[in-house]
Every structure is written in C-alpha cells, then in structure tokens.
Amino acid sequence: MSWAVTGTGAVTAAGGTVRELFDNLCAGRSGVGELRGFDSSRYSARHAYEVDNRPQPGEDVPGRATALLVDAIGQALRDAGLAGDLRGIPVLIGTGLRELRSVELRHRDGAPFAVDEMHFGTALRREFGADDTHTFSNACSAGLYALAMGTDLLELGAADTVVVAGVDVLTESMFGLLERVQPVPPDRVRPFDRNRAGTLMGEGAAAVVLSRNPQPGRPVHGLVRGVAVNCDAYHVTAPDPAGIAAAMRDAHSRVGVKPKDIDLVMVHGTGTMLNDEAEATALTEVFGPDAGRPLMTAVKSMTGHTSGASGLVNLVVALRCFEEGRTPPTPGLDDPVDEAAAFRFVVGEEAREPVSVAQLNAFGFGGINAVAIVEAAR
C-alpha cells in the first residue's frame, strides 16, 4: 500500500518554506553562519546552521522549537487545504531534544517558560485545535519513526489523515557535548568527504500531511510506500553498518522494490568520522552491483544536522525532486572517502534528471535506524 502526501511544510537555516529551501539547496546555498544563539567564546566551534528568528544575535528566547514546528505544520495544512483545523487528526512529532533549550534558559537565566509549554500539544491545540498529539524522542531518526507510526495508523484504518512533523533547535548542552567528541571544530558539514571534521547542528522543522483518500482536485506531491525501523543497540553513539543494512533491506522488502529500482538516495550524511563510513558500507553491501546507479545527495551540507527533523527534511526535498526533475548537490564533497568512491553523488551543480523512487535514510544514537521509500505520484 502507499499513502498520499497532500501537504508539505519546512523551515530551516537554508530556507523558510519548501519552495525557498529547495531552490536554495539546488543552488548550493548553505545556511551555515557564525554562532548567534549563545556566547560562542565558551566553545571552540563558532559556526552553526541557525534559523534567524531571534530578537538579536546572542539573545535567545524560549519556545523557538515550538514556533518552528507551528510554522512548518501551518504551511503543510495550508498546502493540503485543511484550513488549519486539526481536530480529530493525529499529529505525530519526532524530535531529539524537544524544548530543552527553553529549559536551559529558564533554569540558568530565569527566562519565563510555563511547564505545560514543554509539550508541543499545548501550542498545537491553541493554534490549530489539535486534540490528538504524540511526541517521539528517537534521536536523529525521530522524524522517520513518526512517519512509520503515521503510516501504521493509516494502514490500520485508525485515521484517514495524519500529520507527521519533526523539529529541533540548538541547545548549549548538545553543542558542548559535540565539542567533546570532535577534536577539530568544523566550520561546515562535509558529508562523505575525506577531509570532513565532524557535524554541526542545524535548526529546523518539517511537516507532511498524509491521506488515505486525497480530496478530489487537491495536488498529491508523492506517495510514501513504506518505512522500516529497527534498534540494533550496537553502541551508545557509534553506528553499526549491519544494523543500518538490515533497515535498508527491510524497507525494500516491505514495499517490494530492489536496489536497481531506486533512483535517488537521500543519505543521512552527518559528516562525522564514523557515521558516513558506516552508512557507505551499508549502502555498498545492500545495493551491491547497483551501488553506482542512484543519484545520491546529502542536504545536511547546507541545512546542518537538524536531528529529529532531518528525515522529514529529506522527505520534502525528495518530493520536490520528483516534481521538478532536479536534485540538489552536496557542497564540500570534494574527495569522497574510499567507501563512497563508487557512488553517484551530485556535486558541483544540481542534477537535472528525472527521478521517481527515493530512499530516505535516518540513523540515530543507540542504533535507532529508519529507512523510508517514497515515489512520485501516479
């Protein structure tokens, strides 16, 4: 079975709407900049991919994750013609850190932040009348985990329409943690490049509306064929190629596709020492002789690592690739690691080539792996 995507929305450092994001990505425009959200003198890393919606540089405010989420969901609802009414419609939200930044500001600086605003449902009920909201904190694969749950609800007949979203913003605690595991502070994300130094966090939110029965006359952006998830529990932080490969094979099996059927792979591509090589190893194992066939791109090179939103950012970008026959490049990928040397990465300029079936990868700490297969609307 497959489920229609009838609405999309996104806001990242590289663009505040799906259209703006996609155009900027295809042009190779990155959202990276000097760190603005907090005092950079405390850290050796001085760059991040931030959404510029603070009052002024260095002056952070609570509730920014919620604000980005409301923005992306509002875009998706308008696109789907739902008039901003979410009563009776399940809303599934994937996130890595939820409103942790607001807690940091409240605890350290005394910034006003009500406890009930910790739950995204509070704002979604206020903005859209949402009465059925659920949040999943599944690290960097959270968005695709939420997508898996959404497709399950549709397949079981528990809902006719589902909203799936993902969101994360920078927190000082996570920024500092990354400093402890990345000895050389990166100034940008360079997925799969031999000279990559590590990842940088990015802020963003993405949302899609899924429907069992699309409204007549409304556009369908694409179809979600299926999502596979697993938790290999290999290591707290280090990825396991075997667990990643198992998720890919499961996704292919669930929807009845073979590697040769995949036209585009939206890789996880965090730019870290271990993750890129593990993902490349798994792709090579699963795709075998077809590893060089699909186009591949890593949009984190321009959005940063948007954590729980990253899988859904990949989804909305892939849908635009279907509709426009364009695929964004991967800036900074100049010298691929050996494990990825045979892949057909889009580099330099955008690729102008029709694609109709895409694989979306998302892998998180603790071996939380998710792979989705989506295709162009029939």
Domain chopping of the chain, boundaries: 3-211, 223-375
Residue 178 has pLDDT above 90, yes or no: no
Q: How confident is the model at residue 157 (pLDDT cuts 50, 70, 90)?
A: very high
Given CA atoms 176, 180, 186, 192 in this order, what sign does their dihedral have?
negative
Average pLDDT, the chain: 95
Residue 72 has pLDDT above 90, yes or no: yes
Under a CB-based contact definition with an 8 Å cutoff, are residues 143 and 310 in contact?
A: yes
Looking at residue 290, its pLDDT comes to: 98
Looking at residue 40, its pLDDT comes to: 82
Residue 41 has pLDDT above 80, yes or no: yes
Token readout for 216 is 């007549």
Residue 25 has pLDDT above 80, yes or no: yes
pTM listed for this prediction = 0.96
**Fold for the domain defined by 3-211:** Peroxisomal Thiolase; Chain A, domain 1 (3.40.47)
Q: How confident is the model at residue 265 (pLDDT cuts 50, 70, 90)?
A: very high
Query: Coil, strand or helix: which one is 287?
Result: helix
286-308 pLDDT per residue, tens:
999 999 999 999 999 999 999 99
Distance CA(20)–CA(131), nearest Å, equals: 31
Residue 204 has pLDDT above 80, yes or no: yes
Query: Coil, strand or helix: which one is 117?
Result: helix
Residue 183 has pLDDT above 90, yes or no: no
The domain at 223-375 falls in which architecture? 3-Layer(aba) Sandwich (3.40)
223-375 matches 3-211 in CATH topology? yes
Distance CA(281)–CA(239), nearest Å, equals: 11
Distance CA(345)–CA(351), nearest Å, equals: 10
What would the mean pLDDT of 278-291 be, rounded to a whole number? 98
78-95 pLDDT per residue, tens:
999 998 899 999 999 999
Would you tell me the crossing angle of helices 64-80 and 120-128 to the nearest 10 degrees?
40
Q: How confident is the model at residue 246 (pLDDT cuts 50, 70, 90)?
A: very high
What would the mean pLDDT of 105-112 be, rounded to a whole number? 91
Q: How confident is the model at residue 164 (pLDDT cuts 50, 70, 90)?
A: very high
Looking at residue 258, its pLDDT comes to: 98
Q: How confident is the model at residue 56 (pLDDT cuts 50, 70, 90)?
A: confident
What would the mean pLDDT of 221-227 be, rounded to a whole number? 98
What would the mean pLDDT of 174-182 be, rounded to a whole number? 82
